[in-house]
């Protein structure tokens, strides 16, 4: 039906795209199309079709029939829980996508967020026989040789792997993270499909060009590739443990040397339970306020000083230990921030926490990429409106993470491409706020930011000094000072030889010449007045019969002339500046 372009399926960019699909991936494309239609809202599908020239109604279903954007039959509206099941059935790539969406309340309704939350650690596990095979391949020995105990049943199963409790030969309790077999190849094939769809949307729809699906998907692919390398995660655990060693209420489990590879990660077992598993009575026994404050301070240091932070602190990755501390696990996803980005993020966090919308907009514009159709006034207006709305609700209720994500969304709608670090920070802060509310329902993230700003800035300056950035600036200043005389000599030689050229582009040459003439007149007047003062000073030493106030009269006349001229020059400057300011206002 598609190939024949029958009357039932009008030819469109969407159908043309599907006609060119490789047969190898055609089944996957149809699964994605069916998923989009099953959970796509009718009004959204119709809006995309009308505004972008491409919508869900153009995609063929799994049976090869066109998907129409008409109303769904009664009783066929899928439940949010079905979305989690469908994503799990499509494989680990889509489970990971569901995990990401579970932490984005700016994109999905609350019911879907709760349904997708189970994908964080309650995915269907793979068999113990496959676990044994992976351990043998990676460590080179059987499980019974490497461990004195290894629980066959996993304590948690996620999209990329599952975790088993075990014990080393010396009796130490550990947990072993085992990667799903053949997952790298499966994820690579899934991303090939998704990137072709994203590239098509970016090329053929204004919606895609504005949101840059392909770039976002490529960043997501890189993140998952990093998560699939358990050796990298082990190094992240070591680095974060060193960075947070001064935080006595924060624990980062460390990997066991020689027991981790690209597909196996053995680390210390955290003796405790997930923060979401705590009951009301257990929470009363915790120092909730102190833990929330320590956690938030630790994350601010990670983002704004260390430049490396745990980017997936959803409640399933935060444990409460038996001794009353917080443990951060699963460091497969980390964010990195460069020094310049750290300063911008600190400024925008402060501006949001203080309810300063104008500053938020200016920083966002300065740190982002502007497309041709970017409208700065409209962006500033909407950001100011957003921050004012949040401020009116009360700063103590303001969610910094949600506000950052909303700023990113408004930026995309106005053709402003914000850095991915800002979106990742917004997602992280949103998850932190949720954890803070669990630990202490009265915890105020904005007040915490303001409390720790001074210490953060001091640590940042100390880091700059110890890492040599201040000394680098001093060396650059030394180089400038050493080279300044030779540069000045070249400029003076050019002036002497009439070789100096000044190129000026002006939209109004007459206005520029008038301004330069006024400047020249004022400079000339100043030189004349300076000459009168110098001349009067010299005449003071000349003895004459004609004296005034006990001083040589000619010298006094020169001083009076210089004083009158100076007074007139100052008055004319003030009057001229006042008129110019008044003209600009009108």
Domain assignment present for residue 353? The answer is: yes
Residues 275 and 273: their CA atoms lie apart, in Å, by 6
Domain end point (choices 467, 485, 503): 467
Residue 250: predicted pLDDT: 93
Lowest mean pLDDT of 97-106, 108-117, 237-246, 495-504, name the range: 495-504
Residue 143: predicted pLDDT: 94
- 8 A C-beta contact, residue 133 and residue 139: no
Q: Which residue has the tokens 């269907």?
A: 124
Residue 3: predicted pLDDT: 37
Domain assignment present for residue 289? The answer is: yes
* Dihedral sign (CA 120, 122, 123, 126): positive
Task: Tell me, yes or no, whether 438 and 524 share the same domain.
Answer: no
Burial of 62 (0-12, 13-18, 19+ CB in 10 A): middle
- 3-state SS of 250-274? EECCCEEEEEECCCEEEEECCCEEE
Task: Tell me, yes or no, whether 438 and 577 share the same domain.
Answer: no
Could you report the per-residue pLDDT of 132-165, keeping only the tens digit for each? Answer: 999 999 999 999 999 999 999 999 888 888 999 9
Residues 492 and 68: their CA atoms lie apart, in Å, by 76
Angle between helices 183-204 and 213-227 (to 10 degrees): 170
Could you report the per-residue pLDDT of 461-509, keeping only the tens digit for each? Answer: 666 555 555 555 565 665 666 676 777 777 777 777 777 676 655 555 5
Task: Tell me, yes or no, whether 452 and 365 share the same domain.
Answer: yes
Element (H, E) at 147: strand 147-150
Lowest mean pLDDT of 104-118, 230-244, 391-405, name the range: 391-405
Flag whether the pTM goes above 0.75. Answer: no
Residues of the domain holding 373: 275-467
Residue 322 CA to chain centroid, in angstroms? Answer: 34
Residue 354 CA to chain centroid, in angstroms? Answer: 19
Band (342; pLDDT cuts 50, 70, 90):
confident
Number of domains the chain contains: 2
Residues 286 and 273: their CA atoms lie apart, in Å, by 13
Task: Tell me, yes or no, whether 449 and 563 share the same domain.
Answer: no
Query: What's the residue count for the chain?
Result: 586
Q: Is the pLDDT of residue 268 over 50?
A: yes
Task: Tell me, yes or no, whether 393 and 542 share the same domain.
Answer: no
Three-state SS for 56?
helix
Band (313; pLDDT cuts 50, 70, 90):
confident
DSSP 521: H
- Determine the straight-line distance between the first and last CA of the chain, rounded to whole angstroms: 67
Backbone angles phi, psi at 231, to 5 degrees: -65, -40
Task: Tell me, yes or no, whether 349 and 460 share the same domain.
Answer: yes
DSSP 305: I
Residues 287 and 285: their CA atoms lie apart, in Å, by 7
Query: Beta-carbon neighbour count of residue 410 at 10 Å?
Result: 19
Residues 156 and 174: their CA atoms lie apart, in Å, by 14
C-alpha torsion 416→420→421→423, nearest 10? 80
Q: Is the pLDDT of residue 219 over 50?
A: yes
Task: Tell me, yes or no, whether 283 and 429 share the same domain.
Answer: yes
Task: Tell me, yes or no, whether 365 and 431 share the same domain.
Answer: yes
Domain assignment present for residue 242? The answer is: no
Give the closest residue to 448 by CA, choosing from 284, 328, 304. Answer: 304
Residue 305: predicted pLDDT: 84
The answer for residues whose C-beta is within 8 angstroms of residue 3's C-beta and 6 or more apart is 19
- 8 A C-beta contact, residue 53 and residue 63: no
Residue 16: predicted pLDDT: 52
Q: Report which of residues 340 and 477 the model is more confident about.
A: 340
* Dihedral sign (CA 271, 274, 279, 280): positive
Residues 419 and 95: their CA atoms lie apart, in Å, by 25
Q: Is the pLDDT of residue 38 over 80?
A: no
Give the max Cα distance, the chain: 121
Domain assignment present for residue 542? The answer is: yes
Strand order, beta sheet including 250-251: 250-251, 326-328, 318-321, 272-274
- Segment 301-323 mean pLDDT: 85
Q: Choose the most confident range, by mean pLDDT, from 83-97, 133-147, 295-309.
A: 133-147
Domain end point (choices 467, 487, 508): 467
Interstrand relation of 326-328 and 250-251 (parallel, antiparallel or unpaired): parallel
Domain end point (choices 467, 495, 510): 467
Task: Tell me, yes or no, whether 352 and 451 share the same domain.
Answer: yes
Residues 399 and 383: their CA atoms lie apart, in Å, by 15
Domain assignment present for residue 436? The answer is: yes
Query: Beta-carbon neighbour count of residue 39 at 10 Å?
Result: 15
Task: Tell me, yes or no, whether 430 and 552 share the same domain.
Answer: no
Could you report the per-residue pLDDT of 361-381, keeping only the tens digit for each? Answer: 999 998 888 888 888 889 999
Domain assignment present for residue 66? The answer is: no
Residue 102 CA to chain centroid, in angstroms? Answer: 18
Query: Beta-carbon neighbour count of residue 470 at 10 Å?
Result: 14
Q: Output the six-digit token pair for 261.
A: 């590879």
Query: Beta-carbon neighbour count of residue 100 at 10 Å?
Result: 17
Residues 146 and 280: their CA atoms lie apart, in Å, by 40
Domain assignment present for residue 463? The answer is: yes
Q: Which residue has the tokens 């009301």?
A: 280
Domain assignment present for residue 300? The answer is: yes
Task: Tell me, yes or no, whether 429 and 537 share the same domain.
Answer: no
Task: Tell me, yes or no, whether 408 and 305 share the same domain.
Answer: yes
């Amino acid at each position: 039906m598609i190939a024949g372009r029958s009357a039932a399926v009008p030819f469109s960019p969407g159908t043309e795209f599907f006609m060119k699909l490789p047969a190898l991936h055609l089944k996957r494309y149809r699964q994605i199309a069916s998923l989009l239609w099953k959970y796509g809202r009718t009004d959204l599908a119709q809006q995309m079709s009308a505004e972008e020239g491409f919508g869900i109604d153009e995609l063929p279903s799994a049976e090869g029939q066109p998907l129409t954007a008409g109303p769904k039959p009664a009783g066929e509206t899928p439940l949010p829980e079905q979305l989690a099941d469908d994503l799990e059935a499509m494989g680990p790539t889509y489970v990971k996508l569901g995990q990401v969406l579970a932490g984005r309340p700016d994109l999905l309704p609350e019911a879907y967020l709760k349904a997708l939350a189970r994908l964080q650690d309650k995915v269907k596990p793979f068999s113990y026989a496959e676990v044994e095979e992976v351990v043998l391949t990676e460590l080179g020995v059987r499980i019974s040789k490497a461990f004195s105990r290894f629980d066959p049943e996993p304590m948690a199963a996620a999209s990329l792997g599952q975790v088993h409790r075990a014990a080393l030969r010396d009796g130490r309790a550990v947990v072993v993270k085992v990667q799903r077999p053949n997952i790298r190849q499966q994820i690579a094939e899934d991303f090939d499909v998704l990137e072709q769809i994203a590239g098509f949307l970016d090329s053929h729809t204004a919606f895609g060009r504005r949101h840059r699906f392909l770039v976002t998907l490529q960043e997501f692919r890189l993140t998952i590739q990093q998560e699939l390398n358990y050796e990298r995660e082990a190094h992240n655990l070591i680095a974060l443990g060193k960075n947070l060693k001064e935080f006595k209420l924060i624990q980062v489990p460390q990997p066991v040397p020689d027991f981790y590879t690209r597909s196996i990660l053995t680390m210390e077992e955290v003796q405790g339970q997930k923060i979401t598993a705590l009951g009301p009575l257990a929470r009363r026994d915790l120092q909730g306020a102190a833990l929330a404050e320590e956690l938030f301070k630790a994350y601010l240091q990670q983002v704004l000083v260390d430049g490396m932070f745990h980017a997936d602190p959803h409640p399933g990755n935060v444990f409460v230990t038996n001794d009353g501390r917080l443990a951060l696990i699963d460091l497969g996803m980390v964010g990195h921030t460069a020094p310049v980005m750290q300063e911008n993020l600190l400024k925008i966090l402060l501006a949001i926490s203080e309810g300063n919308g104008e500053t938020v907009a200016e920083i966002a514009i300065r740190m982002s990429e502007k497309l041709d159709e970017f409208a700065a006034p409209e962006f500033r207006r909407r950001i100011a409106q957003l921050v004012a709305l949040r401020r009116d609700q009360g700063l103590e209720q303001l969610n910094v993470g949600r506000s950052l994500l909303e700023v990113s969304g408004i930026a995309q709608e106005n053709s402003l491409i914000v850095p991915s670090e800002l979106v990742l920070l917004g997602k992280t802060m949103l998850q932190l706020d949720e954890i803070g509310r669990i630990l202490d329902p009265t915890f105020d993230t904005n007040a915490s930011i303001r409390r720790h700003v001074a210490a953060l800035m001091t640590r940042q300056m100390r880091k700059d000094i110890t890492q040599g950035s201040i000394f680098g600036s001093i060396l650059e200043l030394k180089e400038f000072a050493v080279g300044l005389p030779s540069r000045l000599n070249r400029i003076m030689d050019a002036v002497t030889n009439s070789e100096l050229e000044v190129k000026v582009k002006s939209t109004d040459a007459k206005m520029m010449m008038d301004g330069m003439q006024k400047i020249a007149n004022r400079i000339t007047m100043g030189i004349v007045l300076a000459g009168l003062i110098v001349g009067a000073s010299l005449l003071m030493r000349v003895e004459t019969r004609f004296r005034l106030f006990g001083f040589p009269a000619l010298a006094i006349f020169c001083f009076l002339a210089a004083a009158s001229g100076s007074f007139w020059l100052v008055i004319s400057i003030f009057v001229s500046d006042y008129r110019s300011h008044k003209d600009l206002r009108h």
